[in-house]
Amino acid sequence: MEFFDTGFLADEEIRLVLERTREEDPRRKRFPAYCFRIRDKQGHPVGHCDLKIGYSDSLYYSGHIGYEIDEKYRGRHYAAKACRLLFALARKHGMDRLYITCSPDNLPSRKTCESLGGELLEIAELPEDHDLRVESGHTHECIYAFTL
């Protein structure tokens, strides 16, 4: 897979700075991915996010986009702004539908998905062998779908 230039991933409040890309590793069920640092307009790091490219049953449960905002910067909608920028990158890869997932008790993330217009498809029980269940002990995830 070809990784694209990401210099366009900015708006009036944040900029996504590419930290690394990750090649596909089918043996480990890893998809190609972009990993970014989120920086505010002053250049301060405020969190990080990633975008996985492709489709699979595993990505349905773990999502295409992951994000985390540093605690002191929460409440400024930086996660939603980063997701909007990542939607544009996903479209460049020909993707027309994305999933973002979160734990059912993660209300801020649920609000982010809802503010972005995501459709809550289900609160799904994770398969016994899914990485999220094995590594973190999560048993359920909210599955939000986004049509690009």
Domains, the chain, ranges and CATH?
14-147 (3.40.630.30)
Average pLDDT by consecutive 10-residue portion of the chain (148 residues)?
96 98 86 97 97 92 96 97 98 98 96 98 91 81 97
> What pLDDT is attached to residue 9?
98
pLDDT of residue 144: 98
Max Cα distance, the chain (Å): 44
CA within 13 Å, CB half, 69: 19
Predicted local distance difference test score (pLDDT) of residue 85 = 98
pLDDT for position 8? 97
Cα(58)–Cα(30) distance, integer angstroms: 9
Angle at 112 between CA 122 and CA 42, to 5 degrees: 155
pLDDT at 37: 98
